[in-house]
Structure 1
Amino acid sequence: MKDFNEMKHFILYKLIPVVILLFFIAIMQSGIILKQPFSKEEDILFYIEAIESNIVSEQWDIASAELKNLEEAYSKVQKRIQYSVERDELDSFTTCIKKTEGYIQAHGQGGALAELSEARNLWEGLGN
């Protein structure tokens, strides 16, 4: 009976807390992996590049359409990474995308490219 109690004590007070801590560490460090696109529709960097090239060539309607695709892709990926990255980083990325939308509507090439550059920088640093 003593061996059973010792095993129970070991499991309850040592093994379970260590397993729980390892589980939460794994979740917190998974942002780098989870931000990678699982399909072409989730490729954030592809959409940023497409928007940039359309802005440079002043194809504002296409840039606006690609921005909508970027927002859809981001909403999918955001759900996966929301627990493994800092909330402020996600909010900053969202702000850059919204500012880019305004610059595209106003046909502000310099501002839109600056915001997209910052968004790319935020995205690449996300989870690191």
Structure 2
Amino acid sequence: MRKFLVISIPIVTIVFFVLLMQSGNFLKHPLGNEEGVPAKLEEMIQEVQKENWDSALNHWDGLARDWDKVVKRVQFSAERNEINDFTVSIARLRGAIEAQDKSSGLQLLYEAYEHWADLGQ
């Protein structure tokens, strides 16, 4: 019995951590009835293209809330640089929305979308 435990506990632990480290692509998607980050980014792209700045700012608030939920789930399975890059990208996006700069806003939205696609892979 002791030999079984000595062998099985490390194997089970390693398997658990490997699964956790590879789960980023699954965990970044919405788990409940929330829309999710990609849907928010698509809505914001439409709002910035129409130059509806108040609505884009409201969508940004929703994006920030959703991102806070997602980052807690993927923090162990995603690269820290990708998490930081996405966070910086949406922070800059808020500045572009408040400045009502359409070109910068679209640029940052597509940059954030690329960071999202790379997250957890």
Q: TM-score, normalised by structure 1?
A: 0.90
Distance 2:97 2:33 in 1: 24
1:76: Cα distance to partner? Answer: 0.8
Native 8 Å contact 1:42 1:74 kept in 2: no
Q: Is the 8 A contact 1:42 1:77 kept in 2?
A: no
Residue-pair matches, total? 121
Find the counterpart in structure 2 of residue 4 from structure 1: none
1:65 match: 58
Deviation at 1:40, TM superposition (A): 4.2
Q: Which has the higher contact order (CA 8 A, sep 6+)?
A: 2
Alpha-carbon contact 1:103-1:111 (below 8 Å) kept: yes
What is the deviation of 1:79?
0.9
Q: Does 1:48 align with 2:35?
A: no
> Partner amino acid for 1:65?
N
Deviations 1:55-110 (A, max 9, x none): 00010000000000000011111111111111111110000000000000111111
2:22 aligned with 1:8: no
Moved over 4 A (4+): none
**Displacement of 1:39:** 3.0
Separation (CA, whole Å) in 2 of partners of 1:106 and 1:41? 28
Matched, 1:86 2:91: no
Percent identity between matched residues is 36
In 2, the alpha carbon distance for the partners of 1:70 and 1:41 equals 11
Structure 2: tracts of 5 or more residues without a match: none
